[in-house]
Amino acid sequence: MRKTRMIIACLLVSISTATLAADNDNRQILTLSGAQRSHVLEEMRALLSGTRDILAALATDDMASVSRYARPLGSGMAHKAEDHLKSVLPREFMQLGMSLHQDFDQIAADAESKKDSKLTLRQLSDAMAKCIACHDAYQIQTTSLPSPVQAKETLINSANEMKHEAHGTQ
């Protein structure tokens, strides 16, 4: 009887460990060098502060400033980074990024020609759905290896580690 209880207790512990493991970050891992990671995150912070500047300009209906702040977030921004990142980032990631930059091109152009703040707000809201979609799908990790390790391999390794940890608790 006591033995059965012990077994049940062990089972519960291993089930809860497995649940904790499943709660870990399941987003696809992008394995980048330190410099590449810095470059991507720097671009991200520029996207965040640029978006904030656009909102501040919209609040005062200053459509010229909206256009001025949106333009640097457009395709020009992507070309700077593209060459050395294209080979290490997945195609879907690059495409989502490009499509976001094109949204900012459009926002800049329409703010200049149409001067319609409601339209800009709608466009900005649609564009920001892409920030969310990408953040839901990917995370960055750095490696000291010169070339990126396949995300799949990293995932298998960490799954194995978790298995060992789970066994250790029994």
> Smaller CB distance to ligand HEC: residue 90 or 116?
90
Instruction: Give me the 107-126 binding string for ligand HEC, x by CB under 6 A, dash otherwise.
Output: --------------------
Please choose, out of 79-87, 105-113, 132-140, 152-160, the segment that lies near ligand HEC by the rule CB under 6 A: 132-140
The H or E element that residue 140 is part of is: strand 138-142
Among 140, 151, 162, 166, binds ligand HEC (CB under 6 A): 140
Beta bridge partners of 28: 138
Cα radius of gyration rounded to whole Å, the chain: 23
Q: Which tokens is 124 given? A: 């900005």
| Residue number, 68 or 93, with CB nearest to ligand HEC | 93
How far lies 164's CA from each of 29, 103, 157, 167, in Å?
21, 46, 11, 5
Residue 151 binding ligand HEC, by CB under 6 A: no
Helices within the chain (DSSP H only): 2-23, 34-59, 63-70, 75-86, 91-113, 117-137, 151-168
Binding string, residues 50-89; x marks residues near ligand HEC by CB under 6 A: -x--------------------------------------
Q: Write out the residues near ligand HEC by the rule CB under 6 A.
A: 41, 44-45, 47-48, 51, 93, 96-97, 100, 128, 130-131, 134-135, 138-140
